[in-house]
Amino acid sequence: MPQVSVLATGGTIASSENDRGASVASRGAGELLGGIAAGGPNVSSRDVMRLGSYLLGHRELRLICEAVAAELADGGVDGVVVTHGTDTMEETAYLLDLVQHSSKPAVLTGAQRPADHPCPDGPGNLQEAIGVAASPSARDKGTMISFAGNIYAARGTRKAHTVAPSPFKTMDGGPIGQIANGQPHFMSAPIRPRALALPPPAFDSIRVDIVTVHPGSDATLARAAVEAGARGVIIAGSGVGNGNSSILAWVEEAVQAGITVGLGTRVPEGPVVPFYGNGGGADVVRAGALQLGSLPLFQARLLLALMLSHGQKPNPELLAAHI
Ligand SMILES: NC(=O)C[C@H](N)C(=O)O
């Protein structure tokens, strides 16, 4: 019988109403597992933290990475499930995938309706995620998100709907698998770059900010980010990744000062293609910004933070396999 380790971190799957009528993460792994049917793989569980994922910082992400790595390294464990809030699941999943050396699967899941809802979706999602983590067919696919019957690769997947029961979407793609009768059926496998080292303690305090381009935007917020200690700033450019003259002047200055500047796009799908002038993407990249390809902004933010925390200065060669 396969052995699956369930690590609980909080999120709506673990949430119930408090005395102010607000939903808060309050249930641990044991309670979550109490809601699923008997039979199936052997399951062990552990509470790593109990937080809504909108409250996570880099330190919490590092602790989740360490907890998952420890379980995957256990010879008696075949796969790991992480229960997690959906708000920032795309970030934790991507970071876990970046640092996952094991061929065993790590599977994140959660819920859109709280645990005390009359019709909660958490128990079904958890049961399916356990089935994915236990399956030999899930090996060599890294970290995945299993949610509402679909399995998504970590890279490129975003929360694309605030309340829909199936809120995830892989940008420029679709799910890599589906679950039927508790069994995963994979249609494809993600292309994964060579795994990076786990985040070091320095990761906790690395600051990488995102600044959005919009009509009338200037470099005030980018400048403020650096003043607040940001080692990296990602420009969420318009369209194919465009700035403007104010942003361009700031990029020239910031790159000279050793700040890592990334150029992404505020458009949900499609790659950054720097070819416009007058402060557009071609100028911003010429000024030293690193174009971030099709990697979603919030995942790119973690990639830059991880590299910086390892003492690596991100450059086009280092980013090539990831974007
Ligand atoms: N559906 C959810 O889990 C949302 C929740 N606010 C969280 O991310 O923790």
CA of 90 to the centre of ligand 1 (A): 12
Q: Which ranges constitute the DSSP H helices of the chain?
A: 29-34, 58-72, 89-98, 122-134, 220-227, 245-256, 281-286, 297-309, 316-320
In this structure, CATH architecture of domain 206-320: 3-Layer(aba) Sandwich (3.40)
> What is the mean pLDDT for each group of 10 consecutive residues in the chain (323 residues)?
97 97 97 89 97 98 98 98 98 98 98 97 98 98 98 98 98 97 96 97 98 98 98 98 98 98 98 97 98 98 98 98 96
Cα dihedral value 165, 168, 174, 180, nearest 10: -40
pLDDT of the residue at 234 = 98
Q: Which two tokens stand for residue 237?
A: 């450019």
Q: Which of 9, 13, 15 to mutate to test the pocket of ligand 1 (most atoms within 8 A of CB)?
A: 15
Cα 260 from chain centroid (whole Å): 21
Give one DSSP letter per residue of 36-61, joined into a string.
Answer: S-SSSSEEEEEE-----GGG--HHHH
- The phi-psi region of residue 52 (left if phi > 0; otherwise alpha if psi is between -120 and 50; otherwise beta) is beta
> Which residues lie with the beta carbon below 6 Å from any ligand 1 atom?
11-12, 52-54, 85-87, 110-112
At residue 100's C-alpha, the angle toward residues 179 and 170, to 5°, is 45
CA of 144 to the centre of ligand 1 (A): 17
Q: At what angle do helices 89-98 and 297-309 cross, to 10 degrees?
A: 40
Residue nearest to atom 3 of ligand 1 (CA): 85
Residue nearest to atom 7 of ligand 1 (CA): 85
Is the fold of 3-186 the same as that of 206-320? yes
The answer to whether residues 123 and 92 touch, using CB atoms and an 8 Å cutoff, is no
CA of 114 to the centre of ligand 1 (A): 9
- Report the nearest atom of ligand 1 relative to the CA of 89: 8
The answer to whether residues 279 and 289 touch, using CB atoms and an 8 Å cutoff, is no
Active-site residue list: 12, 86
Closest CA to 109 of 80, 134, 72, 140: 80
How far apart are the C-alpha atoms of 22 and 39, rounded to whole Å?
Answer: 34
How far apart are the C-alpha atoms of 186 and 27, rounded to whole Å?
Answer: 31
All structural domains of the chain with their residue ranges:
3-186, 206-320
Instruction: Give the three-state DSSP class for 206.
Output: coil
The answer to whether residues 15 and 23 touch, using CB atoms and an 8 Å cutoff, is yes
pLDDT of the residue at 47 = 98
Q: Number of helices and strands (H, E) in the chain? A: 9, 16
Residue nearest to atom 1 of ligand 1 (CA): 112
The residues facing 107 across adjacent strands are: 81, 144
How far apart are the C-alpha atoms of 28 and 14, rounded to whole Å?
Answer: 7
Q: Which of 54, 109, 116 to mutate to test the pocket of ligand 1 (most atoms within 8 A of CB)?
A: 54
Instruction: Give the three-state DSSP class for 22.
Output: coil
- CATH label, 3-186, candidates 3.40.50.1220, 3.40.50.1170, 3.30.460.10, 1.10.1670.40: 3.40.50.1170
The interface predicted TM-score of the complex, written ipTM, equals 0.97
pLDDT of the residue at 290 = 98
